Amino acid sequence: MPKAKQNLLSNAAVPVRKPLPPAYGKQIMEPYKPKHGLRHRILQHRTLYLLFIPVFAYFVLFKYWPIAMAWIVAFKELQLGSGVFDSPWVGLQNFRDIFGSPDIPNVIRNTIEISLLRLLFGFFPPILLAIMFHDMVTRRLKKWLQTFVYIPHFFSWVIVFGVVFGFFSVGAGFVNNMLDALGFARHEFLLDANWFRPILIGSALWKEVGWSTIIYLAALATVDAQLYEAAVLDGAGPLKRIRYITLPSIMPVVTFVLCINLGFLLNAGGEQVLLFYNDAVMDRADIIDTWVYREGLARLQFSIAAAVGLFQSVIGLALVVICNAFAKKISGRGIW
């Protein structure tokens, strides 16, 4: 038991800490050096390693092997009869074909614009909603509202398009009926290229905003409640508590989500766009995923599809790395 000394403020006995050894700080900074070799450790923890084998096999077989195959195919002209390995190498020809296509500049521009719009209008609402849920006092109302906003996540995009059509169609659409009732002319929203993106982003927000709060709510659950109590005692109002406690507490998660979302900049939600677009809005709607769907899958050009996938992956990875470095520089926090 360390020897106690008198605390002048509280009169309570506090333990006296032993002085640290001179090299203590240096020791913990040194990298961990295991005493035994890998083989010894595998043998020592063989049961755990054995349990890990299926997981390892799953990732190798279903994730990394397909990635490796796709990368190879990106540089080959895949012939179905020959398979991946016997198909001829074509070097960068697939990439030349992609970037030589007259559609591609517009397709890439659409992809980036739609992704940025998704980021702009889809990134902050879940944070705000999570904070609102976190600060909600009535538990029952909170649960009810959470359930209400989570439900759309479980609808398929086909259903969501059905809902959108029901809202925006000219004949019996809710929005047009409202416009009509208010004395305005009905409008062909679904044929208007200017309305395509607002409808796309709005419906995606409706579908996913609730579900996206989960990660922030999980982060908020770890915030020490005493911080809020102390802030209240210090006279901090709700906005100040959000500014000085809530937001800093979830900032690592926000950074993580932002970096990951940036990694998907060239994946602008192909399934949704595929269902929502039509010939009239094609110029504003066609994105890389839908272009690949038409060129690659429907026209049997799997090498082109693989090359585009590789391009998306490389750009995505670069963006994540840049975002992470930027976040670390600005806030001192990053994913790694």
Partner 1 sequence: MIRKTSSAAVSLLLLLSVLLAACSNNGGNDDNTTNQATGNAAKGNNAKENDANGGSAGTDDAAKPADLTYPEKFPDVPKAVDYDASYAYDDMSKHYNVDIMLNGFVNQPATQDKIKDFYEKTFNMTLTFTHLVRDDLVNKTNVRFASGSAPDVVAFGSSDDRSVAQALFKQKQLLDATEMLPYMPQMMTYVTQEYKNWATDNGSMVGIPRLPTFPDVWGNFIRQDWLKKLGMEMPKTPDELFAYAKAVTTQDPDGNGKADTYFMGAAGGGQGWGMLGGLMDMFGHRSWNVKDGKINNPMLDGTTKNYLTFLKKLNDEKLLAPDWYTIQWEPFKAYTMQNKIGMVNYPGWNLLQEQFSASKGDAATIENWAPVPPMSATGEEGKLGPGGAPGGIYIFSKKLADDPGKLKRIAHFLDAVQYPNKYYWVGNQGGGPEIWPDYTKVVKDEAAGTYYYDSDMVKLQNDMKPELKGMMDWQSVAYTLIWEKHKYSPEVPYNEPGDKYQDVVRAYPRQTNYDMLLNLPGATVNKLSDFTKKNEIAFVLGNRDLADWDKYVEEWKKAGGQELIDAAAEQLKAEKP
Binding site for partner 1 (CB under 8 A): 47, 50-51, 53-54, 57-58, 61-62, 78-81, 102, 156, 158, 165, 169-172, 186, 188, 190-191, 193, 277-280, 282-283, 294, 297-300, 302
Other Cβ atoms closer than 10 A to 301: 20
> CB of 307 within 8 A of CB of 98?
yes
Question: How far apart, in Å, are the Cα atoms of 169 and each of 158, 191, 195, 200?
Answer: 16, 10, 12, 14
State the nearest-atom distance from the C-beta of 274 to partner 1, in Å: 10
The residues, ordered by sequence, that sit 6+ positions from 202 with a Cβ below 8 Å of its Cβ are none
Question: How far apart, in Å, are the Cα atoms of 190 and each of 111, 157, 160, 279?
Answer: 19, 16, 14, 10
Toward partner 1, which CB reaches closer, 34 or 54? 54
State the nearest-atom distance from the C-beta of 281 to partner 1, in Å: 9
Question: How far apart, in Å, are the Cα atoms of 278 and each of 26, 173, 188?
Answer: 64, 18, 13
State the nearest-atom distance from the C-beta of 311 to partner 1, in Å: 20
State the nearest-atom distance from the C-beta of 239 to partner 1, in Å: 45
CA-based nearest residue to 228, from 214, 217, 243: 243
Toward partner 1, which CB reaches closer, 178 or 232? 178
> CB of 302 within 8 A of CB of 296?
yes
| Residues 72, 152: Cα–Cα separation, whole Å | 39
Toward partner 1, which CB reaches closer, 22 or 171? 171
Toward partner 1, which CB reaches closer, 162 or 237? 162
> CB of 205 within 8 A of CB of 122?
yes
Question: How far apart, in Å, are the Cα atoms of 19 and each of 2, 6, 16, 317?
Answer: 12, 18, 9, 47
State the nearest-atom distance from the C-beta of 113 to partner 1, in Å: 18
Q: For residues 104-117, b (16+ Cβ closer than 10 Å) or e, as one string?
A: eebbbebbbebbeb
Query: What is the maximum alpha-carbon separation in the chain?
Result: 86
State the nearest-atom distance from the C-beta of 145 to partner 1, in Å: 30
Sign (positive or negative) of CA dihedral 167, 169, 174, 180: positive
State the nearest-atom distance from the C-beta of 42 to partner 1, in Å: 14
Toward partner 1, which CB reaches closer, 114 or 304? 304
The conformational region for residue 36 under phi > 0 = left, psi -120 to 50 = alpha, else beta, is beta
Toward partner 1, which CB reaches closer, 29 or 80? 80
| Residues 257, 272: Cα–Cα separation, whole Å | 21
User: Which position has the token pair 């016997």?
Assistant: 86
State the nearest-atom distance from the C-beta of 276 to partner 1, in Å: 9
Toward partner 1, which CB reaches closer, 142 or 186? 186
Toward partner 1, which CB reaches closer, 48 or 132? 48
Toward partner 1, which CB reaches closer, 195 or 244? 195
State the nearest-atom distance from the C-beta of 66 to partner 1, in Å: 10
